């Protein structure tokens, strides 16, 4: 442990999540310049005012990776919002579909720990390349969620008369 190397939890969890909506800053990321593009997007998010204009449920930050293609993907850094919240000027939005995820818990909230987790999870053979994301709660551990093959059963709650 004293070697100065951060280690992502090797015991990956599997979880299924219902659909949810995120609003925030969007940025294209090129695989050839991924580290630089992601760092620049985070800098824009942290230094900008958009994060304060979003109708968020909580201050937790989500970093979505979606719309994958041969050269890269779209990164959205933002907050979880209600399905009917109005979209502020300058914001993008993405509705994350229900999906099964493999989840890595980060040992600390840092870009280095997140990058290590992404590297490890990117090689999962069952990966779907639909939507993947990081969650950075205001309390508790940050996590990386990578969508994998699997069925999501969403049952409605029975209401008693």
For residue 137, give the nearest of 109, 118, 110, 114 by alpha carbon: 109
Q: Which tens digits make up the pLDDT trace of 61-86?
A: 999 999 999 999 999 999 999 999 99
For residue 104, give the nearest of 79, 88, 83, 123 by alpha carbon: 123
Q: Which residues contact 38 (CB under 8 A, 6 or more apart)?
A: 29, 75, 111
Q: pTM of this prediction?
A: 0.86
pLDDT band at 160 (very low <50, low <70, confident <90, very high): low
Indicate the domain borders of the chain: 13-148
Q: Which tens digits make up the pLDDT trace of 34-50?
A: 999 999 999 999 999 99
Task: Please state the rounded mean pLDDT for residues 18-41.
Answer: 96
Task: Please state the rounded mean pLDDT for residues 20-37.
Answer: 97
CATH class name, domain 13-148: alpha beta
């Amino acid at each position: 442990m004293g070697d100065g190397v951060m280690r992502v939890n090797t015991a990956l969890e599997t979880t299924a999540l219902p659909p949810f909506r995120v609003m925030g800053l969007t940025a294209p990321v090129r695989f050839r310049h991924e580290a630089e593009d992601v760092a620049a997007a985070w800098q824009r998010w942290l230094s900008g005012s958009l994060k304060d204009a979003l109708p968020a449920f909580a201050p937790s930050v989500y970093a979505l990776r979606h719309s994958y293609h041969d050269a890269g993907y779209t990164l959205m850094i933002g907050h979880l919002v209600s399905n009917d919240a109005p979209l502020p000027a300058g914001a993008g939005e993405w509705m994350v579909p229900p999906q099964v995820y493999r989840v890595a818990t980060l040992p600390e909230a840092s870009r280095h720990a997140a990058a290590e987790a992404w590297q490890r999870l990117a090689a999962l053979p069952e990966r779907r390349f639909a939507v993947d994301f990081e969650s950075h709660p205001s309390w508790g551990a940050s996590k990386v969620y990578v969508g994998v093959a699997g069925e999501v059963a969403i049952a409605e709650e029975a209401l008693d008369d």
